[in-house]
A and B are shown apart, each in its own frame.
Chain A
Amino acid sequence: MGQVRIITDSTAELSPDIARELGITVIPLNIHVGRDRFRDGIDIAAQELSARLESTDSLPFTTAPPLHVFEDTYRTLGNETDDIISIHISAKLSRTVDLARRAATSLIGQRRIAVVDSLSTSLALRTLVKAASEIAGKGVSLDEVVRLVRAMIPHVYLVFFVESLEYLERGERIGRAEALLGTMLSIKPLLIIEDGEILPLEKVRTRSSGLDRLYEFVTEFPHLEKIAILKGANAVTPAELVDRLRLAYPGIDLDVITYGPVLATHLGPEAIGIFVYEGL
């Protein structure tokens, strides 16, 4: 029996180098813009996607990787190990995890494959995947890796400040955030990914109060281990927010990361977000 192997999808926003280094297999989602289809992170990068979004009126959307990609990946990896954990974007944002489950079911009895819904995506998913990889490297059992990942899920947070509701309106899987669309005022919502869903948190009317609220969201945690700022490819880096957070949390590395195409299709290319992992 080999070491537990980790599979995730392209929404975890792992660079190919890091994925390779950590031995994590990344399955790409598909992005459709107009008549074109791209494999996330392979055929198209965030920057390029946002340029295309700007120049098209058609609704961009993402689709899960085809079933056979999962089956092939599980079989191939299964040659190296008996134990696989496959951690994916929330089922409420993509069908990816359903397909992973179907593929895993078809291999029952041959391999031990644990499919985990991260109930989130992006840096939250990446944090889970990296933690899984780290503990798997120590040679622990599949059960222990699954237990760690599940324990971490309620402690990762993604909150976004969206300046335009346009992309939420275009997208399909906005869940209860739909309630935002009927308001009579132009509002800029804060959205949180919670229990796998994009939910409205509160609304503001100006960019400065939106960024203030992101800062307050972070400072409400009594303890935290990781913070990062996410921004859309077309968003201006919120320098003041970065400075305030660096000042408030001098001991924590604070990266500013451009979120990937899947979030861009939901939130548009101009949203600003905060990722928090408060630790176990």
Chain B
Amino acid sequence: MTVEKMEDTAREPRPMSSCDGRELKLLLHAGTVWLERHASSINAMNVFPVPDGDTGTNMLLTMQAALAEIDTVPDDSAAAVAQATAHGALMGARGNSGVILSQLFRGLASGLKDRAQFDGADFAAALAEGSTTAYKGVIRPVEGTILTVGREAAEAAQAAVDEGVRDFLPVLERVVVGARDSVARTPTLLNVLREAGVVDAGGQGLYVILEGGLRYLKGEPMEMAEAPEPVPVVVGTAPAEGEMEWGYCTEFIVQGQSLDLEEIQERITAWGDSALVVGDEQTLKIHVHTFRPGEVIGFASSKGTLHNIKIDNMQDQHREYLVMGEEADTAGAGEEVDGVAVVAVVSGPGLRQVFTSLGVRAIVPGGQTMNPSTQELLQAVEATKQKDVIVLPNNCNVLLAAQKAKELSQKNAIVVPSETIPQGISALLSFNHQADLEKNAAAMERAMQGVQTAEITRAVRSVRINSLDVEEGEIIGLLDGDLTASGETVEDVALQMLEQMDASEQEIITVYYGEDVTQSQAEGLVDRMRQRYSGLEWELVNGRQPHYYYIISAE
């Protein structure tokens, strides 16, 4: 459903006593459209001005997944629509706010069970159940977040019902007002919000969805006063080449005389992801995920004869998987093998290579750019050959989605809650092929505590936090996820971070430099660091990660 269509059918307001399946669908569509309009302003509310894990985008993608799911069910039953919403939102949930939103829907669906339509009182009860479910889904619920907004919205509904309001529309009106007021109060509950001068982004997202639904049902215009904001890029529909999601899996053998392995490797790597070139001067096996398989094949055919050419559209494979997911029971992952597989969320070709070289079988792209959905994580877990799987989210905003994927999986999965790339790497190093799932997970979680992480990026907006005044565009440093330094240059912030990490007390410092840093810049920085801290081991790795100039680990 598009905005235009909805405006065509813009309805006359009527006193709506109950809501049926069709109306619930329209309400959710409208809420999503409204969220889309507000997504970038919600993104700007992230407490830390880092260029990733955007709440608005995450919630929007979660809602879009829910909409795709409800289009598959008939609209004569509100219960069925609510059920589909919950399922779609869960599978498509990205980021912690997306997962919590999906849990609100899950509770709501459970509250609306068996109802073809529902009135205001039913709605109030279902919202309360939604809130309860959402709280249960979080290990340490924090007030002043989307959880609070969901709960207070439900309380507003109950208050209306207690006053004798039974009809749906007036209850929804009270819910929207309750959500709005709750959002406004979030800075009083959460210090970081107050200090940063923002309201909670996830709470705001929930309010916007509810408000969008209400506006539509009341026949109010969906156009905003000012020009619409730019819509965030949606991964999966229009992947940017730099951060490829799906392309063609291209595989073949080249045979020739004195093939130049290095040259071919370099060219193939430049064409895409997951590049692999192995063999000798006569025979090379080549594998790459690329958007331009024709160019790869053309280049290779100039080097020798081609054999066993296989090109698969990975978008199709992805879709097929989504279809298969409906019949999860019959869609086995093929033959199972013994041992424990590791699935990790990583972005940046260099960092991916580090994880692969340490034995990770499945890499889910994202973390520092786009938070992967529950579905993507589940798919990666299910696709491993092993029955036992360890998941490394490597980002605190991927933790909940990873946890949901674990719960949905048919396999024995454990999430080792790594919140940074270096934590993930330390965890991975302690992985022991001989040990079982539980033992490995425990050892990995312990190993992960032994490393400190500094991340250096550019502030995407101005903020005052942790007694630091940060201007948009300034360089900022995060120590174990907390913004603790800012400065003019990347180098200055990097040196501040080393000091904060007590570098002189450490044994080894590893510097992963990002795609926006050249090797000579990185080497220059390490030279400066080395001069300041003698007696340490230094390691420089080309991580080619997006957005983050440097990720530095100290242990």
Contact = CB atoms under 8 A, between A and B. Distances in A.
A206 B353 contact: no
A206 B541 contact: no
Interface in B99-121: none
Interface residues of B, number: 24
B507 A192 contact: no
Interface in B123-172: none
Interface of B: 350, 353-354, 357-359, 425-426, 429-434, 443, 447, 450, 507-508, 510, 537, 539, 541, 555
Nearest to B542: A184
A204 interface: yes
Interface string A194-216: 10000111111111110000000
A33 interface: no
B434 A207 contact: no
Interface of A: 179, 182-187, 192, 194, 199-209
Given A187-B429, A205-B555, A194 B507 contact: no
A209 B431 CA distance: 14
B507 A185 contact: no
B358 A202 contact: no
Contacts, number: 51
A98 B425 CA distance: 41
A183 B508 contact: no
B555 A185 contact: no
A187 B429 CA distance: 8
A194 B434 contact: yes
Contacts of B353: 184
Contacts of B431: 202
B432 A201 contact: yes
B432 A205 contact: no
Nearest to A203: B429
Contacts of A186: 537, 539
Contacts of B447: 209
Contacts of A207: 507
Given A185-B510, A199-B434, A206-B507, 16 more contacts: A183-B358, A184-B353, A184-B541, A185-B354, A187-B429, A192-B434, A200-B433, A202-B429, A203-B430, A204-B429, A204-B430, A205-B507, A205-B508, A205-B555, A206-B555, A209-B555
Nearest to B353: A184
B434 A201 contact: yes
Nearest to B510: A185
B434 A209 contact: no
A122 B434 CA distance: 22
B357 A202 contact: no
A159 to B, nearest CB: 11
Contacts of B354: 183-185
A205 B450 CA distance: 11
13 contacts: A184-B353, A185-B510, A185-B539, A186-B537, A202-B429, A202-B432, A202-B443, A204-B430, A205-B426, A205-B508, A205-B510, A205-B555, A206-B507
B354 to A, nearest CB: 5
Contact of B429 (A184, A199, A205): A205
A192 B507 CA distance: 24
Contacts of B450: 209
B505 to A, nearest CB: 11
A186 B539 CA distance: 8
A199 B433 CA distance: 9
Contact of A182 (B357, B425, B429, B555): B357
B43 to A, nearest CB: 33
Contacts of A201: 432, 434
A178 to B, nearest CB: 12
Nearest to B350: A184
Given A179-B359, A199-B434, A202-B443, A208 B507 contact: yes
Contact of A183 (B357, B433, B434): B357
Contact of A206 (B350, B430, B433, B508): B508
B278 to A, nearest CB: 11
A183 B431 CA distance: 14
B541 A185 contact: yes
Contact of B425 (A185, A199, A206): A185
Contacts of A182: 357
B434 A184 contact: no
